[in-house]
Amino acid sequence: LRARGFLQLRGVNGSLGMLEQARARGLYQRLSLCTLGQEPLPGPEVGAPSDGQVPCNAIPELLCVTKPGGLVCLTTRTNLSNLQNKEALEATLGRLEQAGAWDCLPPSWRWYPASLPRMASSSALSTCTESRRRPRLRK
């Protein structure tokens, strides 16, 4: 990410163990313990919507903390055990787009290493889809 110009990295996770792993990498300026969808975000952070991790009702909060024109990049698994969550996520994002709260941007692999598209087709990696949305200011 740094090589691509992303210099301010902040992370939020509901697991102390995952935060410790992230801290050990030395990439993040700030890490926060927070269970998305159950408590307010500690600031303009990131989330990873997935069944049992982040409910779809947390998506509007991500919109609220994203600056106008900012990007929210989401991935979700496409394996059978996650299809219900994937459909719920797509429906939530579709409703927000119809309401004018998001602009959908087409998926792009240009931000990722060249090998990721090949790896993403593996059910073990489970990062097969990407939805990038740009929030618009609505009053």
Domain CATH number, residue 57: 3.40.50
Long-range residue pairs from 52-56, CB within 8 A, at least 24 positions apart, any chain: 53/14, 56/85, 56/88, 56/89, 56/91, 56/92
pLDDT band at 3 (very low <50, low <70, confident <90, very high): confident
pLDDT, residue 17, reads 92
What is the domain count for the chain?
Answer: 1
pLDDT, residue 102, reads 77
Q: What is each CA distance from 30 to 3, 12, 39, 88, in whole angstroms?
A: 19, 9, 18, 30
Distance CA 118, CA 115 (A): 6
- Average pLDDT along the chain: 68
pLDDT, residue 24, reads 94
pLDDT, residue 119, reads 39
pLDDT digits (tens, 9 = 90+) for 25-73: 888 888 888 876 666 666 544 445 454 566 787 778 777 777 777 777 6
The amino acid present at 85, given as its one-letter code, is N
Range of the domain at 79: 2-135
Query: What's CA 87's distance to the chain center, in Å?
Result: 16
Task: Report the chain's C-alpha Rg in angstroms.
Answer: 15
pLDDT, residue 13, reads 81
pLDDT, residue 19, reads 92
112 Cβ neighbours under 8 A, 6+ residues apart: none
Mean pLDDT of all residues in 9-30: 87
Query: What's CA 36's distance to the chain center, in Å?
Result: 11
Phi, psi of 10, deg, nearest 5: -125, 145
